[in-house]
Structure 1
Amino acid sequence: MSVVQSSAGNAPQLDDLPAPAAPISPAPSLLGPPVPPAQRIYFYSPDEWEVFISEWAVGLGVGYHQVKRLGGPGDRGVDVAAFRTERGLEDSWDCFQAKHYAASLVLSDALPEMLKLFRGVVDGYYVLPDQYVFAAPRGCGGSLNRLLSRPTELQTKLLETIDSRSSATKEIDDGTLQSIRDLATASDFSMFRSTELREMLDVHRGTPYHAARFGTTLPARPPAGDPPKKPAPVEVTYVRKLVDVYNEQDPGTCVDTESVTTHAKYGVHLQRQREAFYAAEALRLYARDSVPDGTFELLQGDVYAGVVDTAEADHASGLDRLRAVLTQSGQLDLGAHSLISVSRIEDRQGICHQLANGDRLTWVASDE
């Protein structure tokens, strides 16, 4: 695919797709019977429909370098663009055309958008996309669907529109129109396709955005698994702080991680803390794939806010402080957080160790 250089100063504005907000809890269900996602989508604004398409594109499994919304004035016929490389519109990319209409799309809806695409290439705003996908909540009508399944006939229809000098081409000068026709004649119209809302929802369910957008239950959480026998490098800080706790209790024996691991009393205690840490890490990784960015961090922040006063209070020993904080974490009201529906007490305790690992909590105070 050749690269068409953009005209200086005339390229469409590329606004980064904002990360979806991380709600503390899923959107509340409406009173009465649950409203299916498809029915909710029918009432979206055009802008919200573009946001949904952007989320859906992330779940396609293509491994896009970036997904951006370009819709708005001067979008040159591109609502949502998915780039396969850092070169964006100058390299391999897919175009998703958002059409939130009250009825199914028909050919007269599609042809002007196809003309915009070819004109954008002729004018040097981008190269032809690998795919151009019409995305409409009510899909495409039967006639348009048949043409999208017969690329040669679709190409003929567009060429006929160009040659007829219809209202769709009246503002295009003859030279530009001829260039558009030449490009359309040489192009493979199998790049044009449509997607059904049912297919989009199937893909969207596998994204981190689905539960938060539609207020559905979170997917099942896999088991955390056992921690490695020896602490990994990522555990160094919180394990060292635990060793300080045990050393304070038994300074003659608990001098390092290895000696604590074999200690008759504190070895078992250390193992429980490590299991809790790995449970919280498993929850963090689960959140990365199941809920919007920042959701786990909100939960972690509220755990910190709920235990920090306990951690900073006077305690007879580091072990007393540790036990008080872990007990307090289990008593916090975190029901507003969506992740609580798939979490356990062990996760809360593990979050405390994550906070210790980030030097936000310490068990043995310097004056103890």
Structure 2
Amino acid sequence: MEETYVQIKRLGGAGDRGADVAAFKTDRQFEGPWDCFQAKHYKEPLGFSVAAPEILKVFTSVIEGAYTLPESYQFLAPRGLSTPFNVLVSKPTDLQDRFLAELAKGGPLVKGLGKAIIEAVRRLATNTDFAMFKSVEVLDALATHAKTRWHAARFGTSLPARGDSDAPPEEYLPDETRYLQQLLAVYAEYHPGNITTLHSVADVPRLSRHLQRQRVRFFKAESLKAYSADAVPPGTFERLQDDIHAGVVDIADADHPDGYTKLNQVMTHVGSLDLNRHKLINVTDIDDRKGVCHQLANDDRLTWVEES
């Protein structure tokens, strides 16, 4: 079962108290239930001799009041755990016995610690279920990472399947108000006196079909934006929007006989833009590009008919 966390913090570095990554299960954070992830980036598999000081650090931190004992403490290393240590982690009682034996030796593991703190660690470790110490297998970590919006960008893999876009609802939505206002201005200029509202566009079949196509495109671009929130890093979709704007704005600012001509020339030109450097382009089509133009019109970054 996958855990659900309220917040995850990366704390690795000086003063992290053995918690490279802290995953909190409630808003009480370190005062409530949490999981600890310890990353060790070594050329060789992680062994007990390297892990033991980290286990000790957790116990001393709890004793000193830095945080509560995590519900799990998970080691993650590029080369994984050494076979002996992995077997030890898989047998919590043996891991506990091994740690307590090293603690009792009084060797390098406890160097610099006073007798009182060593005794406190012994008592806490004796009463702790060492099943809390686990290994994160690299393949499992990659499988989990593959579900995040950073995976394709970081590893150069294909984007996940996008799925179908929702069809525009019959009723106009508040979120599409501005680009529809701009389209109405185009139609009213093109058919002066005949078109005064969006509903009156239905009286001109060619423009009615044109309006429906624009709404389909807008909602396709909206679905691409929603998809990007789970599939790519933050800002990716906005950079695509910016490049589309840069690619069509000169066409939009040129002289045109009317707004209808300007709109259609922009829609034609956006299909020819070289956007291959954008990861999202692999899951888009021409209608997505045209829909982005309507998003830009919705934000007043593109204007079809200059207001007098």
User: When the two structures are superposed, what TM-score results if normalisation uses the length of structure 1?
Assistant: 0.80
Q: Tell me the residue number matched to 1:340.
A: 281
Q: Map 1:117-266 onto structure 2 (within 5 A).
A: 117-261=58-202, 263-266=204-207
Displacement of 1:61: 5.3
Q: CA-to-partner distance for each residue in 1:100-144, whole Å, 9 max, x for gaps?
A: 122222221221110001111111111111211000112112222
Distance 1:118 1:194 in 2: 18
Distance 1:207 1:66 in 2: 15
Kindly indicate which of the two structures has a greater share of residues assigned to helix.
Answer: 2
Displacement of 1:216: 1.7
Q: What's the secondary structure of 2:205's corresponding residue?
A: coil
Q: What's the secondary structure of 1:81's corresponding residue?
A: strand
Q: What's the secondary structure of 1:315's corresponding residue?
A: coil
Distance 1:144 1:122 in 2: 26
| Aligned residue among 223, 228, 231 for 1:282 | 223
Percent of aligned positions that are identical: 49
- Bigger-Rg structure (1/2): 2
| Aligned residue among 3, 9, 14 for 1:73 | 14
Distance 1:63 1:360 in 2: 39
Distance 2:209 2:3 in 1: 45
C-alpha distance 262-135 of structure 1, shift in aligned 2 (>3 A)? farther
With a CA cutoff of 8 Å and minimum separation of 6, indicate the structure with the bigger relative contact order. Answer: 1
Distance 1:125 1:98 in 2: 20
C-alpha distance 339-61 of structure 1, shift in aligned 2 (>3 A)? farther
Distance 1:149 1:256 in 2: 70
Q: What's the secondary structure of 1:303's corresponding residue?
A: helix
User: When the two structures are superposed, what TM-score results if normalisation uses the length of structure 2?
Assistant: 0.94
Q: Tell me the residue number matched to 2:249.
A: 308
| Aligned residue among 235, 253, 260 for 1:294 | 235
Of the structure 1 ranges 192-201 and 151-160, higher mean CA displacement relative to structure 2 is found in: 151-160
Q: Tell me the residue number matched to 1:101.
A: 42
Displacement of 1:204: 1.5
Displacement of 1:268: 0.6
Structure 2: state its 5+ residue gaps: none
